[in-house]
A and B are shown apart, each in its own frame.
Chain A
């Protein structure tokens, strides 16, 4: 699965489970003195980041969520990294790499100046062992198995030489997002599906930071790796602290308790607007690497041909799918829901990845046009009845269940708009907001769903989740597929781009895939949300964004932000004024409640002193 976190499903399982808990946790944490900024006490410079997403696992073989893969990035070096400027592959653990003439053998030169945090040297043997483990042990292939599925053999002829032999050419060989782990530590691990790498600290690694402590949904603490080959980070300590309530995180930022807030998935427009005027706080509003889409259930099925789930059969008609999307006014969504903190959706891959970005030609584009949508529905045979509802051939009115994440305010907001837009078309909408959308999703029990993925500089992964090969083996299995799309034409293009080593030709094939996906109408991208995040300038003097101009900080394709962050000299003890209005409001509320309580108590006593 790799770094692409799914902003839907698994990623969203976040313990939000019972919102009440989240709420109380959010209110409680600011009072919890656990990992204080230790700046004053022992001169240590600590960078504290407020996060909300729960860690699924700290084992790089299991972790798929954005927070976990980001932490793994900090703990373990990869073979190659992405340049923070334009995301081209730059040396990581490997200093040089080259394919053979037949494109089937890749040779990497492993650097000799990298050491594990326990003092041992990092060798090609560690990399070979990591890849071989994923190829041979299915339990170790959970997270990143897709990268090695095409590997024939991985060997380490010398400590600085790594040789990978492929079954078929593979274009992603310079974008292998696989953390390389120390063989001498990990070969002792028994069951890879159960080992979460969170028991014995510090955890041996070779990245810019070393994991020193972890408490689920409380904090993750890392210390700077002084031996890091690229140079030690400027901060001594990096702490990810949990705030399940985003408003609580923002309040903590205002008070200086945390240095950085990323939001999940980003700060709301109101929060960003209020933070923009605050002293010592900088809001970073950058084009994101996510897309935000409306996925259609194409009739869930397994590789064995068995159909399951209960997606509405009317959605199998491409005219219906196009009609639904024609009635979605993307501009209003950007203006009203995201309030400008997003870009209107076009193709599958966000414009930030300009090589692969594609947009539909004017006559292909499904621009907002409710009249055309109504025409298409009429053509498809779904005409309005006396009550103005569209009915199918069976005489039943069209009503779609839209699966939404209860934890994402944007889903609910867009859902409201869909309900009204489609209502005008004569189609009913049942907004089905759940904390856990995974179960109905995997079982295919939905008609439409809100969907979103973070896209990597190499788009292979987000493209692969729509191939027939990603379908589950049987209805009971879980698989990499996103929403059960299986299209022969798309699959052929996918195989071709994977085998294409020429970047320009590959980009062309990828764009044709996006065009195909757009025409199919099963994945309708509505927006590319910005990454809206904020940090304290009196704690962080400078921090690198990716891409360098107008880039994001949290959830980068690399460790650049936290590695490059420079502590500010100023004394951070003077916290911000907090939002006086809110405090006054809360105080007022307490006074009112107390008064009401006292009044009731007095009345009670007045009316009866022996009421049961």
Chain B
């Protein structure tokens, strides 16, 4: 490795390589089989398609090892892999709890337009008195405009989840792109990219995000961008290590020998293999993105006309609810943020454990 890999990445690379003890050979065999039948394109296609269902990749590799014979139709294999994934996931109680919480949250957010409607965020027709404590009519009291806080917390989930998901996807996409290309090309390019990554890694994320949101116009897009472009370096490091491990496998060399170009190797062979990692990373990143979004909104850097959990906390602080002891203004959005972040973390951990054979063995 000529690129001067720092110890943690190396360790990760070693980990990943070690983890592949069961899987790598099987995959090699799989690829070989495909190559042997001169159906590299088809095999690769299947793999590429697999990327969509990448959660099942590692499992499917083992699966394929068990049935090393002629390839079964891809959809059947995928279904079995998914079932296998689910069987393993089911054994993680915390993961299940997180998933249940997430499904509940997603349902609430998706049905919010029917359940509470966008009118809940309107200030001119606010139904109650400002800062009224919880009552039969307003279960969680009202905010400084007299709006129903329960409705606002439900409505706010839409923005918080949306920003959390999009920011995480953006962040992981940047990280994966940088990681794969840096792992694939090595040399000067990798050195430069990794130094850029290091630079972003040592910059305090929040300060950078605050600076970005302060400069750009205030909108949801800005917040997503600010979170996305400041949190990708960890993903880049992880993905690069995994890429190095994957590229060391013999079938990659074979693919190259058969004329596979850079793009082919990266998208058809490396990407599907780092996808499990990327997926787990995304799940984990969502919770930190939601927290960062809340932080930025709380610091007054969000769009003030959009209702989000962090924005509600900021409103509460500005209205003086903290010193006035109006707890109902502070507690519900705070608990909602903590709850959703926790649910995503639990899910992410469980997915990671299932998809990483080595982690799975420990259980």
Contact = CB atoms under 8 A, between A and B. Distances in A.
Interface of A: 18-20, 23, 246-247, 250-251, 254, 267-271, 273-274, 332, 336, 339, 404, 406-407, 409, 412-413, 415-417, 419-421, 431-433, 435, 579, 581-582, 585, 589, 592-593, 596, 600, 603-604, 607-612
A407 B15 CA distance: 49
A612 B8 contact: yes
Given A20-B206, A603-B349, A612-B8, A269 B305 contact: no
Interface of B: 8, 11-12, 15, 94, 122-124, 126, 130-131, 144-146, 206, 210, 214, 217-218, 238, 299-301, 303-305, 315, 317-327, 330-331, 334, 338, 342, 345-346, 349, 352-353, 359, 362-363
A413 B144 contact: yes
A268 B320 contact: yes
A267 B353 CA distance: 52
B194 to A, nearest CB: 16
Contacts of B124: 332, 417, 420-421
B319 A409 contact: yes
A269 B299 contact: no
A550 B324 CA distance: 24
B304 A415 contact: yes
Given A409-B315, A603-B94, 11 more contacts: A270-B144, A270-B324, A271-B323, A336-B130, A407-B300, A416-B123, A421-B124, A581-B327, A582-B325, A607-B363, A609-B362
B362 A270 contact: no
Given A267-B320, A274-B325, A608 B145 contact: no
A435 B214 contact: yes
B305 A610 contact: no
A336 B126 contact: yes
Contacts of B146: 336
Nearest to A433: B304
Q: Is the interface of A mostly helix, strand, loop or mixed?
A: helix
A270 B123 contact: no
A8 to B, nearest CB: 17
A415 B305 contact: yes
Contact of B323 (A18, A247, A604): A247
A582 B326 CA distance: 8
Given A433-B218, A603-B94, A247 B322 contact: yes
A496 to B, nearest CB: 43
Contacts of A582: 322-323, 325, 327
A608 B131 CA distance: 47
A607 B359 contact: yes
A251 B321 CA distance: 12
22 contacts: A18-B299, A19-B300, A23-B299, A270-B131, A270-B321, A332-B124, A336-B130, A416-B123, A417-B123, A420-B124, A431-B305, A432-B217, A433-B218, A433-B300, A579-B325, A582-B322, A582-B323, A589-B334, A603-B346, A608-B362, A609-B362, A611-B359
A409 B145 CA distance: 12
B323 A274 contact: yes
B343 to A, nearest CB: 11
Contact of A409 (B123, B131, B305, B318): B318
The 3 closest A-B pairs by CB, nearest first: A409-B318, A268-B320, A271-B320
B151 to A, nearest CB: 16
A414 to B, nearest CB: 10
A268 B359 CA distance: 53
B253 to A, nearest CB: 27
A30 to B, nearest CB: 12
A28 to B, nearest CB: 16
Contact of B338 (A247, A417, A579, A592): A592
A414 B249 CA distance: 63
Contact of B145 (A250, A416, A596): A416
A247 B94 contact: no
A404 B214 CA distance: 14
A273 B324 contact: yes
